[in-house]
Structure 1
Amino acid sequence: MNVEKILAISGKPGLFELKIQTRSGFVAESLLDGKKITVGMKSNVSLLSEISMYTHSEEKPLVEILRAIAVKENEGPAISHKEDNAKLIEYFSQIVPDYDEDRVYASDIKKVLNWYNMLQAKGMVSKEEPKVENAESVKEQVVEEVKAKNETAEKPKAKAKK
């Protein structure tokens, strides 16, 4: 499962795929309708590869949870995120039996199942283990690109000579 360039943008429905960096942010393509949007550096953006959920023993990466759903459903669609909360909680406890019920809300479970179904519809889910070094290198590349863009944006422009 390759979710290193998949983003969740606060205030925007669905998931987005990172396409290119721009001077003031980046361009992302919606997985829902394929429309491209520009996202500024001040937007609250989360890489799916960086999201974790609470369990009683540790934080479990979202990628592992998505993979567990893919294994349970044989890479098919999961139950709808629009089911009633009791059914969603029962389903999720089969996927992650030790999740922390006090810190993981029904809304979080709905979001995970909605994201899984979006990724599954695009053929982006897999039962296979991810390549850790690949995920880390992509993360480092994105971080370096953002730092470089921020450094060039902070430099004052030279005055034109007469």
Structure 2
Amino acid sequence: MLKTILSISGKPGLFKLVSHGKNMLIVESLTDKKRIPAYAKDKVISLGDIAIYTDEAEVPLHEVLTSVKNKENGEKVTVPSDTKELRTYFAEVLPNFDRERVYPSDIKKLLSWYNILIGAGITDFTPEEEPAETDTKAEAAEEKAE
């Protein structure tokens, strides 16, 4: 699900990918449902491609969002304004996050994204499993054999 949810640099909020046009994407705001074009010059990133730095490795965003959801029982989170409170809260969600590379602004953005997703009714953050190519080819071969 997060693969089709996009963040566009310079535009507030999150957007759902609706369609592809020539040299652009058609996206729909998750907050007000307005559709706008996102051009090739815009910096667009899928939430499915984002990870958070930890002391050992990077943790995919969907795991962090699921952890926030579990902590908040699926409700929206109140974003702390104080930097120390923000880091304390995030340490409860992801205890081993890299305190050097994860900035308070990153945590605020992540929590605001969580609130936008919950507000839009998106509560399942786990990525869909795509069938492996070899499985698809094997199934096609079996169908031909029958």
1:123 deviates by 1.2
Does 2:38 correspond to 1:39? yes
1:32 deviates by 2.1
Q: Using the alignment, how far apart are the partners of 2:54 and 2:76 within structure 1?
A: 24
Which residues of structure 2 form unaligned runs of 5+? 134-146
- Aligned residues with identical type, % of pairs: 40
Does 2:98 correspond to 1:100? yes
1:133 deviates by 2.3
The equivalent residue for 2:49 is 50
The equivalent residue for 1:74 is 73
Which residues of structure 1 form unaligned runs of 5+? 138-162
Of the three residues 115, 118, 140, the one matched with 2:116 is 118
Alignment of structure 1 residues 1-162 onto 2, 5 Å: 2-80=1-79, 83-126=81-124, 129-133=126-130
- Give the structure-2-normalised TM-score: 0.84
SS of the counterpart of 1:56? Answer: coil
SS of the counterpart of 2:68? Answer: helix
The answer (yes or no) to whether the contact 2:3–2:127 under 8 Å persists in 1 is: no
1:129 deviates by 4.5
1:28 deviates by 0.4
The answer (yes or no) to whether the contact 2:24–2:37 under 8 Å persists in 1 is: yes
1:4 deviates by 1.7
SS of the counterpart of 2:3? Answer: coil
SS of the counterpart of 1:39? Answer: strand
Q: Using the alignment, how far apart are the partners of 1:129 and 1:39 within structure 2?
A: 25
Q: Using the alignment, how far apart are the partners of 2:36 and 2:84 within structure 1?
A: 36
CA RMSD in angstroms, aligned pairs only: 1.9
SS of the counterpart of 1:133? Answer: coil
The equivalent residue for 2:141 is none
1:42 deviates by 2.1
- Give the structure-1-normalised TM-score: 0.76
